[in-house]
């Protein structure tokens, strides 16, 4: 595995030289397209600091494999120099053997940081925070702080804000941005350059979505993560949050499409994993949809008497599914943006009811016109009772679209109330839910309108 052909060697050395001066994001993009042997050689050839920068990029997808392939000494040094949050991510990808082997090669501080980070639940602030940040005691001056930053700048991933800690209790008292610091009087105490207000902080257990909401709301570059004693234990930076937001959106879109979230890029997920993520929901939905067969068995007499009714089953079911899917995606998004909250469910219901009725009237009219038009133009003969059939279809569309809008909008609330992610209310889920009810509404209305004539 560690042998490389001379060709690869030459290519890798040349590549490493060319890349040394590129932006790190571009290096990563180029590396991601190479084979493993070449990437390993390039990482060995790149200046140490550049190699660390490359490994620090979450976009560099083969970081774990590369560190496994590199000589232990270099791998350990690189892991120790990487930002702690990225090192923790990479560590999670290692198998047990590699984890043990490389653990001995990283320095004590990094090892202790890593074990703390790895203990936090997935998707929490603690799991995406970095432990490298700049803090100063509250009795320092602006100039002392600036001198301190000058010394540590190279070793800190992110000096966006400086956290001022009480000089005795070490509790966080202020967050000072760099620009405020530069604009401040050098002799003034560091805490005097910002308004006397407690900084926004989060606990390590807080979900990353909540962190994203705070960073967005307060336009922060980073938010400090504090423990129960209000000591800063790390920071979550805006770029981690952007990455988290993109991942959450991907999850939401995939769930809305009626599947489990892939958690991996489309190109990289294996065949069996892909089937597993998709087959589960498809099977559940199919079994739910089997209730339609049972519902139709129940109406078999009506079906045999008026075969013409079957012609409109797909039409009516899809109208219900579509209106439900609209309402669901609207409410999922409004809940995610906190435009509506759980307690607003009845307000939404009061809004969706007239909306559903109006949409139902529009679709019902289209349905009636379609039947009348076909009858009139001689495209199809619905028989002597075609007016009653048109009325049945129109009324069924009105009922189903109203029901679909209402059920679709209430489902995310119900899921949230039960402690599930409202985004699990996928379009296919709603459609299935509405289909069975839709059939019952359709045949119920048919029984009333057509009784004595067709039925």
Interface positions, 9-68, toward a second copy (CB under 8 A): 21-23, 25, 59
CA pair distance 404, 275, nearest whole angstrom: 30
By the rule CB under 8 A, 377 interacts with a second copy: no
Interface positions, 94-113, toward a second copy (CB under 8 A): none
CB of 371 to a second copy, least distance (A): 9
CB of 173 to a second copy, least distance (A): 15
**Strand arrangement, sheet containing 172-177:** 134-137, 161-165, 172-177
CA pair distance 78, 141, nearest whole angstrom: 35
By the rule CB under 8 A, 321 interacts with a second copy: yes
How many residues sit in the footprint of a second copy (CB under 8 A)?
A: 113
Looking at the Cβ atoms of 113 and 248, the one nearer to a second copy is 248
Query: 161-165 and 134-137: which strand pairing?
Result: parallel
Looking at the Cβ atoms of 44 and 262, the one nearer to a second copy is 262
| Nearest of 46, 36, 45, 38 to residue 68 by alpha carbon | 36
By the rule CB under 8 A, 179 interacts with a second copy: yes
By the rule CB under 8 A, 386 interacts with a second copy: no
As a whole number of angstroms, the longest Cα–Cα distance in the chain is 96
Length of the chain as a residue count: 455
CB of 200 to a second copy, least distance (A): 7
Interface positions, 115-174, toward a second copy (CB under 8 A): 146, 149-150, 153-154, 159-160
By the rule CB under 8 A, 337 interacts with a second copy: yes
The one among 5, 122, 267, 378 contacting a second copy by CB under 8 A: 267
CA pair distance 129, 204, nearest whole angstrom: 8
CA pair distance 103, 139, nearest whole angstrom: 38
CB of 95 to a second copy, least distance (A): 26
Query: 232-237 and 222-226: which strand pairing?
Result: antiparallel
The one among 10, 182, 188, 448 contacting a second copy by CB under 8 A: 182
By the rule CB under 8 A, 330 interacts with a second copy: yes
Interface positions, 283-312, toward a second copy (CB under 8 A): 283, 285-287, 289-290, 292-293, 296-297, 300, 303-304, 307, 310-312
Contact 382, 308 (CB under 8 A): yes
For helices 427-450 and 271-298, the axis angle rounded to 10 degrees is: 10
Looking at the Cβ atoms of 266 and 376, the one nearer to a second copy is 266
Per-residue x/- marks for a second copy, 393-412, CB under 8 A? ----x---x-----------
Question: 222: which strand partners?
Answer: 237
CA pair distance 393, 372, nearest whole angstrom: 11
By the rule CB under 8 A, 270 interacts with a second copy: no
The secondary structure of the chain in percent helix, strand, coil, rounded to multiples of 5, reads 65, 5, 25
Looking at the Cβ atoms of 4 and 57, the one nearer to a second copy is 57
By the rule CB under 8 A, 372 interacts with a second copy: no
By the rule CB under 8 A, 219 interacts with a second copy: yes
In sequence order, the 6+-apart residues with CB closer than 8 A to the CB of 185 are 142, 193
Contact 66, 35 (CB under 8 A): no
Looking at the Cβ atoms of 111 and 213, the one nearer to a second copy is 213
Looking at the Cβ atoms of 40 and 254, the one nearer to a second copy is 254
């Amino acid at each position: 595995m560690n042998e490389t052909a001379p060709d690869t060697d030459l290519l890798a050395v040349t590549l490493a030289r060319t890349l040394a001066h590129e932006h790190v994001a571009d290096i990563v993009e180029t590396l991601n397209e190479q084979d493993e042997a070449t990437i390993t050689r390039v990482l060995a050839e790149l200046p140490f600091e550049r190699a660390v920068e490359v490994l620090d990029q979450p976009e560099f997808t083969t970081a774990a494999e590369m560190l496994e392939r590199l000589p232990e000494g270099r791998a350990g040094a690189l892991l120790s120099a990487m930002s702690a949050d990225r090192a923790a991510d990479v560590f999670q990808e290692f198998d047990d053997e590699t984890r043990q082997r490389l653990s001995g090669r990283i320095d004590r501080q990094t090892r202790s940081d890593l074990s703390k980070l790895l203990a936090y639940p997935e998707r929490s602030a603690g799991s995406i925070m970095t432990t490298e940040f700049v803090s100063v005691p509250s009795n320092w001056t602006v100039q002392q702080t600036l001198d301190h930053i000058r010394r540590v700048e190279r070793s800190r991933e992110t000096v966006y804000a400086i956290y001022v800690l009480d000089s005795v209790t070490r509790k966080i008292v202020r967050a000072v941005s760099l620009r405020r610091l530069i604009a401040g009087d050098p002799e003034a105490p560091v805490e005097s350059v910002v308004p006397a207000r407690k900084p926004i902080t989060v606990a390590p257990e807080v979900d990353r979505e909540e962190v994203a909401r705070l960073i967005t709301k307060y336009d922060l570059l980073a938010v400090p993560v504090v423990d129960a004693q209000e000591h800063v234990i790390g920071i979550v930076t805006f770029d981690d949050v952007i990455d988290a937001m993109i991942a959450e959106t991907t999850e939401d879109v995939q769930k809305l499409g009626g599947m489990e979230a892939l958690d991996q890029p489309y190109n990289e997920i294996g065949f069996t994993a892909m089937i597993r993520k998709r087959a589960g929901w498809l099977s559940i939905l199919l079994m739910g949809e089997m209730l339609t067969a049972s519902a139709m068995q129940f109406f078999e007499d009506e079906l045999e008497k008026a075969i013409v009714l079957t012609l409109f089953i797909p039409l009516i079911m899809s109208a219900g599914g579509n209106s439900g899917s609209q309402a669901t995606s609207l409410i999922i998004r409004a809940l995610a943006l906190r435009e509506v909250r759980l307690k607003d469910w009845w307000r939404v219901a009061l809004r969706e009811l007239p909306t559903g009725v109006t949409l139902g009237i529009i679709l019902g009219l289209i349905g009636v016109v379609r039947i009348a038009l076909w009858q009139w133009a001689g495209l199809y003969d619905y028989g002597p009772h075609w007016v009653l059939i048109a009325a049945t279809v129109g009324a069924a569309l009105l009922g189903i679209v109203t029901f679909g809008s209402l059920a679709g909008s209430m489902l995310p609330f119900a899921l949230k109330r039960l402690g599930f992610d409202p985004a699990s209310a996928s379009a296919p889920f709603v459609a299935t839910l509405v289909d069975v009810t839709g059939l019952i509404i359709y045949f119920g209305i048919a029984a009333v309108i057509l009784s004595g004539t067709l039925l």
